[in-house]
Structure 1
């Protein structure tokens, strides 16, 4: 009987952890910023909503847009593969930003009141570890 109880509790508690993993991104604030001297773009994803701002001074009023269910599920899967603690250590694959060949991009994720941020990388050429995640986020700006 004890073994049956332990087995039941293990399965029950294990399922509870899976449900919590899915909610991880729902409590996160994701900010992607790409800028140069002449251009600026900030994409913010929070709670299945996306806003895109092109004004670095914050004078525009970006309209939040709901992310479709299919896109949200895909973003959740990409988010699960991101290792938050290693974001600051990721190496940029190209260096076009050093000679104005690409905008400087940064990804910042605020999760459970803690900030995780990448070092600068070329817009359009994110580190391979977060490429799918960043490409999905930037695709929302192309839709607008």
Structure 2
């Protein structure tokens, strides 16, 4: 009986944690931007909606995120230390000589703005790498859909 109760409680608590993560993510607006002289990419995520702009004067293309993608992004979001976001250092510096697009992440959460330092597109700081790579993966998926 104790085993059954333990299993039930584990499943219940796991489900509540997943729900909490999703609810916390709904409070956030996430923006990823990568820019060079010749290219532009802006990705915005808010409340399970994805907006992608590939050219400066282009109208945004909007998508609904898949449940699995939203859950994975929420899991990664909950692991972020937003107060440290602007302290994280870029691992490479190709953006200084036009070797890579300049990128940054901006998060608006509970009325406060958190922004990373500029880093090379495709080479985010180690502390936010999984989160950024998940965001950028949505653009790669969108390319495959067209």
Q: TM over 0.5, yes or no? A: yes
> Would the alpha carbon gap of residues 85 and 129 (structure 1) be closer, same or farther in structure 2, given more than 3 Å must change?
same
Aligned match of 2:40: 40
Return the alpha-carbon distance in structure 2 between the equivalents of residues 116 and 110 of structure 1. 6
Aligned match of 2:106: 108
Tell me which structure has the larger Cα radius of gyration.
Answer: 1
Return the alpha-carbon distance in structure 2 between the equivalents of residues 140 and 122 of structure 1. 18
Displacement, 1:60? Answer: 2.3
SS at match of 1:60: coil
Aligned match of 1:80: 78
Aligned match of 2:95: 97
Displacement, 1:127? Answer: 0.4
Q: RMSD of aligned C-alpha atoms?
A: 1.7
Corresponding residue pairs, total:
128
Any unmatched runs of 5+ in structure 1?
1-13
Q: Scaled by the length of structure 2, what TM-score is found?
A: 0.82
Structure 1 segments of 4+ aligned residues over 2 angstroms from their partners: 17-22
Any unmatched runs of 5+ in structure 2?
1-12
Return the alpha-carbon distance in structure 2 between the equivalents of residues 47 and 53 of structure 1. 18
Aligned pairs (5 A) from 1:5-84: 18=17, 19-56=19-56, 59-84=57-82
- Would the aligned equivalents of 2:51 and 2:60 in 1 still touch at CA under 8 Å? yes
Displacement, 1:123? Answer: 0.2
